[in-house]
Structure 1
Amino acid sequence: MPVGIEAWVTQIPPVTRGWLALCVLTSLAVQCQLVTPLQLYFSFKSAFVNSQPWRAVTTFFYFGPISLDFVFHLFFFMRYSRYLEESSFANRKADYFWLLLQSSVLLLLMSPLFNLPFLSSPLAFVPIYLWSRRHPSTPISLFGIVTITAPYLPLALVGFSWILNGTWRAAAGDLMGCAVGHIGWFIRDVWTREMMGGPSVFSEAPPRLKRLFGENY
């Protein structure tokens, strides 16, 4: 079994694998009481006025206590982040990391509007949304109950999250992730192609970042 788990983990593309590992380790650290959620959440005052900048990073790795909601978000983020990295961003690790980095900055700027201390779930919806827009005709079976096409997947997951948590605040974070995912899709698939006529700094990672990931440019 350990060999099987190791083989499964190594098959996950590198950016998704690193993100998944940090999320799992963060939740385990909280579960083992090595850290508390109060040390991880993000607010502008705590991060930049009280000189605790790590909060602008840790907010993207904590999905809450290990629960059904934790498993739900982690499963769907890992599945569709992997699909996206293996298809649209195959052999383009730097570009995928650049997408997630830009999305993270946007979410940090938007977070005061929704007063969300943790932004892991909104960020997880970015690759889900982008993948769904790039595979519009792909049928998806939700829990073996209903079959939908890919563009409806983000809204279906938002609705399920709302039902699972029983509060609109959970859905608000996921909807914010969909909005940021839409911006990422528009920049890469509409604005860059139809208005710029080619890649731009918003759609393609800078050369320095590509060198960091060992890629040619």
Structure 2
Amino acid sequence: MAYQTLQQEYLQIPVVTRAYTTACVLTTAAVQLEIITPFQLYFNPDLILRNYQVWRLITNFLFFGPVGFNFLFNMIFLYRYCRMLEEGSFRGRTADFVFMFLFGGLLMTIFGTFVSLVFLGQAFTIMLVYVWSRRNPNVRMNFFGLLNFQAPFLPWVLMGFSLLLGNSIIVDLLGIAVGHVYFFLEDVFPNQPGVSIFFFNMLFDTPEEDANYNPLPEERPGGFAWGEGQRLGG
């Protein structure tokens, strides 16, 4: 009975959130069990271009380090904000949500080449947090019960907290920058007079209303120790 309940809850997770979080957990489990190593996953342009190891374009977004508190917090934030986006502003727009993943991943891959980051999963999570926070500007957030602020400040609070801990903020800045580019092109620029951009066909969407729809609560406590970009062997 417990297994069936767990399976039912799992299948109720929106498809994109379910696929991405599952891939992250399975990748980390494979590394933990020494089936694969981080050396086979990290982003390396030379190996991608010269040795055709194209899987690195994807796997570097799936590994968040060994199982521990940092991995757990990353998974919590990734799951919460990815699901709230998919059930919120992207509800019934699965194709658009996938496009955001592809767009954000492409920009991060390009920028990551210049800042020498080998794993971009944390930056991708920050991007999701940024887009959600800008689309929910009136939501009140709470930071460890000590600081209250509006949702748009959440990515900056996370970056400030990381800075106070003495960590690099390159990952946070990359996620914020890519998130802002997407938000501007998708939400701000098209609303300018005479401008239209980013029409994307709904290939497999079902936008009809669901009477039993019950999204996650919008308000979430924010903040944890976002570390610096994971370096190979670090």
TM-score by length of 1: 0.87
Where structure 1 has 5 or more consecutive residues not aligned to the other structure, the ranges are none
> Counterparts of 1:215 and 1:11 in 2: how far apart (Å)?
15
> Counterparts of 2:178 and 2:193 in 1: how far apart (Å)?
20
After TM superposition, the structure 1 = structure 2 runs for residues 81-120 of structure 1, keeping only pairs within 5 Å, are: 81-120=82-121
Percentage identity across aligned positions? Answer: 37
Q: Give the Å deviation of 1:167.
A: 2.4
- Residues 39 and 194 of structure 1: is their aligned pair in 2 closer, same or farther, counting only changes over 3 Å? same
Asked whether the 8 Å contact 2:92–2:205 carries over to 1, the reply is no
- RMSD over aligned CA atoms reads 1.9
Query: Which one has more relative contact order, counting CA pairs under 8 Å at least 6 apart?
Result: 2
1:190 aligns with 2:188: yes
Q: Which structure: greater helix fraction?
A: 1
Asked whether the 8 Å contact 2:93–2:205 carries over to 1, the reply is no
Deviations 1:32-61 (A, max 9, x none): 001000000012111112211110111111
**Match of 1:55, as an amino acid?**
R
**Match of 1:47, as an amino acid?**
I
Asked whether the 8 Å contact 2:94–2:205 carries over to 1, the reply is no
2:80 — aligned with what? 79
- Residues 10 and 163 of structure 1: is their aligned pair in 2 closer, same or farther, counting only changes over 3 Å? farther
Deviations 1:96-126 (A, max 9, x none): 0001101100001001221100111111111
Aligned partner of residue 148 in structure 2, secondary structure: strand
> Counterparts of 1:148 and 1:2 in 2: how far apart (Å)?
39
TM-score by length of 2: 0.81
Give aligned pairs, total: 206
Asked whether the 8 Å contact 2:133–2:154 carries over to 1, the reply is yes
Asked whether the 8 Å contact 1:46–1:52 carries over to 2, the reply is yes
**Match of 1:24, as an amino acid?**
V
Aligned partner of residue 192 in structure 2, secondary structure: helix
> Counterparts of 1:191 and 1:37 in 2: how far apart (Å)?
39
2:179 — aligned with what? 181
Q: Give the Å deviation of 1:2.
A: 2.9
- Residues 48 and 183 of structure 1: is their aligned pair in 2 closer, same or farther, counting only changes over 3 Å? same
> Counterparts of 2:144 and 2:55 in 1: how far apart (Å)?
37
Asked whether the 8 Å contact 1:98–1:204 carries over to 2, the reply is no
Asked whether the 8 Å contact 1:80–1:128 carries over to 2, the reply is yes
